Structure 1
Amino acid sequence: MNRLSLTLLFVAVFLLLVALMWWGYRNRARRQAKVLPALPTAPEDLLASVRSGAAETVLPPSTGVYASTVTGASWQDRVAVGDVGFRADATAHLLADGLLFDRTGATPVWIPAGSVRAARTEAGIAGKVMGRDGLLVVRWAVGEQEFDTGFRADDKDDYERWVPALRALCSNQTGEGHDGE
């Protein structure tokens, strides 16, 4: 084989692998769409007030990277329905009504206060390993289905305030304390 043939063979194999990955992700989205409940959407008036700076927040906003949302069954089972499984720059806003991840170039992720179950720090989520306590992970539920959403703050010191505030938010909604595990 000459160099051109090897190059064309390599490109063909590469394109085949990319197509197989796309096909697998598309099939995962189809399977999940049948079994996962519809995720909540952020109310337009809330988005407008947060973006204008008029919203009353529990904590100052935290900038960083929204890592992804996974099902509660496994930290590797990324949600493929919609775009909540994709990484994006984001600003996290903790409000009395819930948690908003206002993502750049993607739809906002809204977690109503009544859905929050726990908060903790973790090393990684869905193939994104950030180091010890590198991610803020929020456990939340829609109906009986639990989800974990990961956020990597630009300032890791934010976690010292966010984890207790999120735990207080979920205990205020349920009337009981959570240990975050």
Structure 2
Amino acid sequence: MTTTLLLLAADEPRSAEVTDWAARLGWVAGLLLFIALVYWLMRQGWKWRGSLQSALPELPGMPETPGAARLSMSGRYHGSTTAGQWLDRIVAHGLGTRSRAELTLTDAGLHVARPGADDFFVPADRLRGARLDKGIAGKVLAEGGLLVVTWEHGGQLIDSGFRSDRAAEHTDWVEALDSMTDTHTKNDTEGAAR
């Protein structure tokens, strides 16, 4: 008799499982709070890094007469790091903000125009060289896909990464910047010898 009752109970139609909306909404709210906390912590870390780098002086402005453009390039600015340490991002004075960029090299130096971010200028006597590389903080490309310009500011060497819309231009930039650096180094050495 017991087996008959069990078989009859198993044959009866059942209703669909009821969704526990309170539990689901609780999980969704918890997940959204977790995401907001992670975002807030990332933002605080960015601000903290900026305050640690506050000793870096203001960036020089564009001179009134920069001279004729030797080279120009449009592309992307991927950020700046401490020279030789491709993961140590510099965020002070807007150097950590990625953006489109228009680079212009003149006899006075390198002008970086960035729509939506602060422009900056590197005087020719502060340029220390250029190279092709594959990565800078938060951006990794194919070997030689990134133009890295090394310059000195406030007693600190800085690497700034750029990628041209036409990657074939990178080698011309490296040659021009290295030539400009060699010229300034030679002039500084001759001036010190006098």
Work out whether the TM-score is over 0.5: yes
* Contact residue 57 and residue 154 of structure 2 kept, 8 A: no
* Contact residue 50 and residue 92 of structure 2 kept, 8 A: yes
Unpaired stretches in structure 2, ≥5 consecutive residues: 1-21, 188-194
Secondary structure at the counterpart of residue 31 of structure 2: helix
RMSD: 1.7
The equivalent of 1:52 in structure 2 is none
Query: Which of 62, 76, 83 is the equivalent residue of 2:87?
Result: 76
Identity %: 32
1:36-86 CA deviation, whole Å, 9 max, x = no partner? x3143222635xx7xxxxx51112x11100110111251111111121111
Q: Distance in 2 between matches of 1:115 and 1:96?
A: 12
The equivalent of 2:32 in structure 1 is 11
The within-5 A match list for 1:51-90 is 56-59=68-71, 61-90=72-101
Q: Distance in 2 between matches of 1:32 and 1:21?
A: 17
Offset at residue 24 of structure 1 (A): 1.0
Counterpart AA for 2:38: L
Deviating beyond 4 angstroms after TM superposition, the runs of 4 or more aligned structure 1 residues are none
Give the length in aligned residue pairs. Answer: 166
Going from structure 1 to structure 2, the CA distance change for 1:39 and 1:72 (only over 3 Å counts) comes to: farther
TM-score using structure 2 length: 0.80
1:41 and 2:60 correspond: yes
Q: Distance in 2 between matches of 1:142 and 1:80?
A: 14
Query: Which of 137, 149, 172 is the equivalent residue of 1:161?
Result: 172
Query: Which of 88, 91, 107 is the equivalent residue of 2:118?
Result: 107
Secondary structure at the counterpart of residue 174 of structure 2: helix
Counterpart AA for 2:30: L
Counterpart AA for 2:184: Q
TM-score using structure 1 length: 0.86
Secondary structure at the counterpart of residue 3 of structure 1: helix
Secondary structure at the counterpart of residue 14 of structure 1: helix
Offset at residue 143 of structure 1 (A): 4.2
The equivalent of 1:94 in structure 2 is 105
